[in-house]
Structure 1
């Protein structure tokens, strides 16, 4: 249990975390709201106790004065009995009530001889001051009353309250108030942190998940949007999109390093073999020297092409960000590439079937569209057999897409090859791949570019019947001719 509590504390021990901030903020708000009632109640109780005390003192004054007015001249014993009797308003003796209420009462005869006192303090000077004492004191702390008999001063009643009673009542109320406020603060603290943890729990889950993500598991870990509500769902979806992009970038980087190291191994080994041969004895033989230099230069050129293609492939995954505002007229580009290939391969018959009735704009960088068409047409030329005929078709597909189809009549491919043809370094005819050239990256580059522009590419083929590659790209807007 102790370890569990310590673990929970360590999770939120950062004093600047949202849990602490919201917890203390909610504690203050809840405490201020909850403290209104006990403070108001205590204040009302104080006012009631104060008013009740003043009322009790006034009633006792009236009672004593009334009873003293009923006494005769020889009434010393009656005075003593008066203060020993129980008072109907309190059910205690008058003397006890005076002590409880902190009332110092003294009775003097007409010659100011003390005949009764509840405290030892001498209040005789108050008789001389009389009404003046009442005017100058607050809350009637001193009262002097003259009792007359046959119109002559008979007794003097003097009463003084020191305020200790009310002070003690006030201290008790404040003490109970502080205890109540302390309990309320503790309860508010618990409730506030429970509420803060409840509201911020999704963020804490997100934080814990993100802290566990690394390059090895980023492709597997995602936030479950069903666990959140409202804005948290949108945040979790945005985080998942970000993780998808990061995962894709990491995967591209990893594959780039792996593929480059794999593909460069052969040309490096070839060059190394020829250099060792020359170093041992080949440099003395002009024929061997020429052959080794020619082979090494060929491999270096192939390495340059390979590295450039790998860089193109890596950049292809970022076109949606780098070329987001690019627009290209599709008919113009297709016709330009078509004319160029007619010049480059005069022994081939190229046919362009343009079904577009007007020019269409698509969101793609012009050079990238040209690169895609060149890759597909180059492959069509490379894998053509005796029938040197290539068809290019441009049309509108389902209103929203431009479809470009490039068909050759070469050797075709099996269903298994069709599934892998867009993989990096994959070649359908591995036995003849060296003489045809290329590194098996062209279709991978084309697919990455097309996917980056929210399009699609697929192939229809059969062994011996040629292949037909279809490229679909979304229409951006229409241009009237």
Structure 2
């Protein structure tokens, strides 16, 4: 065992000790690299299994509806219309799932492919609200957008849009009807904009808060596929925030509801302008 080898207190002995120390460092580094490779392998395997599981539901549903239509040529028109509409709804869910999988994969493995440009966050948040206004109205929800129109960053338009759209959709799906969403920002920080996004709804059980950004995690029995989500929305939010060199956390409000606090860097730092997003 080289670790038990005793070197004399001479110049050559000192050199020998340094060589052994370097070898130990290399050995430790190799073990850490091997552990990281194994961790990444398990994460990719887990995601592959989760994707296969999530894809199975809409595919099986579409197959079932089409089999009914194919095997019942004399089915009355109203029932045929119902099954066609159900099949179409599942194709929309399947399309959204594939789109989200592609986005999160690109964020994890090729984030440098996302171009940067001048992005106005206030305008994007306003666009998202307009896009989802019908769903907000249906749920009896109101939204207070307190963002000013001078919140410009050097970032990616599509990713900033994904942040706000997924957060609003999350509140629509889980906050409950007749609740309020509020979006606000502080900009005193020289390098970052700091945002608070919260609703006045049900919130999340404390034990689930640490898992809220995980992929395909069903945090509660009420948070199931009936809400129409892909199970990737908040994971995409976190990856998009990390792309902009920010951070994000979730917490329950004492007054009720769930709050997201996150930051976006105004301009990328030179040393990390091409930093890849962290893997979850």
TM over 0.5: yes
What is the 5 A alignment of 1:215-364?
A: 217-219=35-37, 250=41, 253-277=44-68, 281-286=71-76, 290-318=81-109, 320-323=111-114, 325-338=116-129, 341=132, 345=136, 348-354=141-147, 359-364=150-155
Distance in 2, matches of 1:424 and 1:266, equals 17
The Cα offsets for residues 161-199 of structure 1, whole Å up to 9 and x where unpaired, read as xxxxxxxxxxxxxxxxxxxxxxxxxxxxxxxxxx89x86
Distance in 1, matches of 2:238 and 2:42, equals 16
Partner of 2:260: 469
The Cα offsets for residues 337-389 of structure 1, whole Å up to 9 and x where unpaired, read as 455555774554322334x6x94543420121111011111222333434332
Q: 437, 450, 475: which is aligned to 2:228?
A: 437
Pair 382,431 (structure 1): closer, same or farther in 2 beyond 3 Å: closer
CA RMSD between the two structures = 4.0
Q: How many residues align?
A: 254
Pair 201,315 (structure 1): closer, same or farther in 2 beyond 3 Å: same
Contact 2:93 2:228 in 1 (8 A): no
Contact 2:135 2:172 in 1 (8 A): no
Contact 2:111 2:243 in 1 (8 A): yes
- Gapped regions of structure 1 (runs ≥ 5): 1-194, 221-246
Q: Pick which of 407-416 and 391-400 moved more.
A: 391-400
Q: 396, 404, 408: which is aligned to 2:195?
A: 404
Distance in 2, matches of 1:471 and 1:255, equals 27
Local SS of the residue matching 1:315? helix
TM-score by length of 2: 0.70
The Cα offsets for residues 291-337 of structure 1, whole Å up to 9 and x where unpaired, read as 54443333233212111111111112246522475443434434444
Q: 457, 460, 465: which is aligned to 2:251?
A: 460
Q: Which has the larger radius of gyration?
A: 1
Contact 1:342 1:350 in 2 (8 A): no
- Gapped regions of structure 2 (runs ≥ 5): 1-14, 269-280
Q: 446, 450, 456: which is aligned to 2:237?
A: 446
Contact 1:324 1:363 in 2 (8 A): no
Q: 373, 388, 394: which is aligned to 2:164?
A: 373
Pair 252,360 (structure 1): closer, same or farther in 2 beyond 3 Å: farther
Contact 2:245 2:264 in 1 (8 A): yes
Contact 1:413 1:464 in 2 (8 A): no
Distance in 2, matches of 1:340 and 1:291, equals 27
Distance in 2, matches of 1:416 and 1:254, equals 25
Greater relative CO (CA pairs within 8 A, separation 6+): 2
Q: Pick which of 403-412 and 334-343 moved more.
A: 334-343
What is the 5 A alignment of 1:420-435?
A: 420-431=211-222, 433-435=224-226
